[in-house]
Amino acid sequence: MEIKKTALYSLHQKHGAKFVPFANYEMPIQYPTGIIAEHKATREKVGIFDVSHMGQLFIKDDNQLAEDLEKIFPIDLKNILLNQSKYSFLMNENAGIHDDLIITKIKDGFNIVLNAVCKNSDFELLKKLLNNKYEMRLNDNLSLVAIQGPKACEILEKIISGISDLKFMNGNYFSYSSKNVYITRSGYTGEDGFEISIKNEIVEIFVEALLKEGGKLIGLGARDTLRLEAGLCLYGHDIDIKTTPVEANLKWAISKKRLITGRFLGYEKINSQIESGTKKVRVGITPVNKIIAREKTKIYNEENKIIGEITSGTYGPSVQKSIAMGYIDSKFSNIDIKIFLEVRGKKYPAKICKLPFYKKNYVKGAK
């Protein structure tokens, strides 16, 4: 299968990016200053992320779409406001997660941002679930750029006036270089920020403008450390078809109203797990020493029995310690329970801890 490139590939090359294959794209994992410097730049000022590999799916409305989408997604779409975004899941009948996503109500329909590894299969599955009733398209002519950090609003406002009026998880159309761009106040780092859907032909001049204002390009490496510090899941690692939102500690993303009314994919399993509990649950974990517990690391209890497995682990530059997330037998999920992590054949002590590791700095209201 041919490896694809985003419209910003040449810009990444110009700025010295090191590339890796990811989700069938050649993506920058880091730049010359390195992952830790990129991580700190995002936390302290502003980082610019090329996330154009992700899927931008548009479904055209005909006044019936919200009702049909509610048969699929566990959120209240009939009452969602224009330009409001919601985090949700595409699940199977057993509540296994096909993908986690952001769905936004826009003029004439809904826009759904899909994970890169899932976007083509999601598209086909949604077409099938909606019985081919609606006009649907994956917008390959659009790039997606995330700008994140405490200075994100200040820097972006200099380039596109009016974005500071956006509230968290809300968006709108703006103009840049005489073309429409759609901007939402959202992101996946734990910082205030924005995601900009923009035409491929103008995305490079847009990012160059951000760089001139003091932004720094950030690769997939720092994107991973940032999202893990914020306790956010990575699809295919922390959540997948073998896990449910309840097991993943993501019940907050399911509409309370929909839990009462039901009638969405996976409802019976979700309801059963909420009432009776789950055998496993996603937790935060901090090793006592400086060892890094990577994905697939086995978790043991004090009786030397395997009780779980790490799904993501790294060193957190902002919290200055080793951090990890994983699934553990629910009986051992209480905060501060002592566990052991097997790294390179040796067991090291660790503790269950609260998530997130790093306090999120989202701006709930407009500035």
Residue 329 one-letter amino acid: D
Instruction: Give me the residues paired with residue 325 across strands.
Output: 284, 312
Give the pLDDT score at 366.
58
pLDDT score for 365: 63
Q: Taking the chain, what is the end-to-end CA distance rounded to the nearest angstrom?
A: 46
Q: What is the pLDDT of residue 28?
A: 98
Contact 72, 103 (CB under 8 A): no
Phi, psi of 270 (to 5 degrees): -60, -50
- Model confidence at 63, pLDDT cuts 50, 70, 90, reads confident
pLDDT in tens, 300-342: 999 999 999 999 999 999 999 999 999 999 999 999 999 999 9
Instruction: Considering the domain delimited by 9-55+140-229, tell me its CATH architecture.
Output: 2-Layer Sandwich (3.30)
Q: Partners of 30 in the beta sheet?
A: 18
251-to-41, 62, 213, 245, 332 alpha-carbon distances in Å: 32, 30, 39, 6, 19
Residue type, 153: C
Give bridge partners of residue 181 from the DSSP assignment.
Answer: 174
Q: Where are the domains of the chain?
A: 9-55+140-229, 279-353
If you classify domain 279-353 with CATH, what class do you get?
mainly beta
Q: Which residue has the tokens 């994919």?
A: 265
Mean pLDDT of 77-84: 97
Predicted confidence (pLDDT) at residue 66 exceeds the cutoff of 70: yes
DSSP E strands, 78-141: 85-91, 97-106, 109-114, 136-138
DSSP string for residues in 214-282:
T-EEE-HHHHHHHHHHTT---BTTTB-TT--TTTTT-GGGS-HHHHHH--STTHHHHHHHHHH--SEEE
Going by pLDDT thresholds of 50, 70 and 90, the confidence category of residue 2 is confident
